[in-house]
Structure 1
Amino acid sequence: MPDKSTKNPKLLSGGNPQIPKGEGDAPVQAYIAAMPGWKQDIGRSIDDIVERNVPETQKAVKWNTPFYGVEGHGWFLGFHCLTKYIKVTFFRGASLNPAPPVESKQKDVRYFHIHEGDQFDEAGFADWVKQASELPGEEL
């Protein structure tokens, strides 16, 4: 029987899907399926890029955010929807070359914002993903 909590998820403020926390691909796919409008295609692209470049990726949804990590190394990336953009978090982003453009109050964290109509540089994003997956991740 399908889990009713992921069948028609509620959108929180800013359009972020409310998905029950869970480990594995299924909750991440439920989150992506619930992303509103143009954001859903970007969510699929992010997921595809991570899977292609880090085949051993571990996935989970925590705090209504999909997370990607490597077993034994922690989480290297997460993303969520805000009203006007998708906020991608690289937990060790300050160590990436080049570093993602948006700074955080946390010295190691860097963000990448994707707005509607932006040209999404998939090759550059894939490079960040590869680099990030090789660094020690965040234990959440």
Structure 2
Amino acid sequence: MAQTTSKKSAQVAKKVAAKQVDAKPTLRAGGNPQIAKANGDAPVQAYIAAMPGWKHDVGRRLDALIVRTVPGVRKAIKWNSPLYGVEGRGWFLGIHCFTKYVKVAFFRGAALRPVPPVESKDKDTRYFHIHEDDQLNEELVAGWIRQASELPGWVS
């Protein structure tokens, strides 16, 4: 009897876990997907898949550009945002959805050349905003990504 109860409990737990994985993520303010904190590519891909409308394509393009530019890049979701980093150097870039744009945060952006255009309250951080009708200059963004990945990053 105990073995049957244990087996049923395991089956119920497995079904609940499967529903949680298949569930659509909640979108927070600005259409930012709410994804649980986790390390690796899978949670970042879940975030990108949940990015609404045109932002989804921006997320896919950015992720692919980052992976091409920084082979072996580390990925994680922290604070409902994908983070990209280099082992032993910390996080160099984060992405976040807002209502009218996707924000790309370079945590040491003030050291990049040219400097990304949007200032932060933090003197080292600079942002790049991508709006719906913007043409992404992949060469410029790849240059920022490459430079940022070579700097000491943000450690959490």
TM-score (norm 1): 0.97
Contact kept? 1:5, 1:19, Cα under 8 Å:
no
Q: Which residue of 1 aligns with 2:75?
A: 59
- Normalized per residue, the structure richer in helix is 2
Q: How many residues are treated as equivalent by the alignment? A: 140
When the two chains are superposed, the root-mean-square deviation of aligned CA atoms in Å is 1.2
Cα shift at 1:6: 6.2
Residue number among 104, 108, 120 corresponding to 2:120 in the alignment? 104
What's the CA shift string for 1:81-135, capped at 9, x where partnerless?
0000001100000000001000111110000000010111111100100000000
Distance 1:57 1:7 in 2: 27
Bigger mean CA offset, 2-11 vs 95-104: 2-11
Residue number among 139, 143, 147 corresponding to 1:131 in the alignment? 147
Where do residues 36-115 of structure 1 align in structure 2 (5 Å cutoff)? 36-115=52-131
| Letter of the 2:89 counterpart | H
Question: What runs of 5+ residues in structure 1 fail to find an aligned partner?
Answer: none
Distance 1:72 1:3 in 2: 35
Question: What runs of 5+ residues in structure 2 fail to find an aligned partner?
Answer: 1-16
Alignment pair present for 1:18 and 2:34: yes
Cα shift at 1:51: 0.3
Distance 2:38 2:27 in 1: 18
Identity rate, percent: 64
Distance 2:78 2:35 in 1: 8
Contact kept? 1:5, 1:20, Cα under 8 Å:
no
> What SS class does the counterpart of residue 68 from structure 2 fall into?
helix
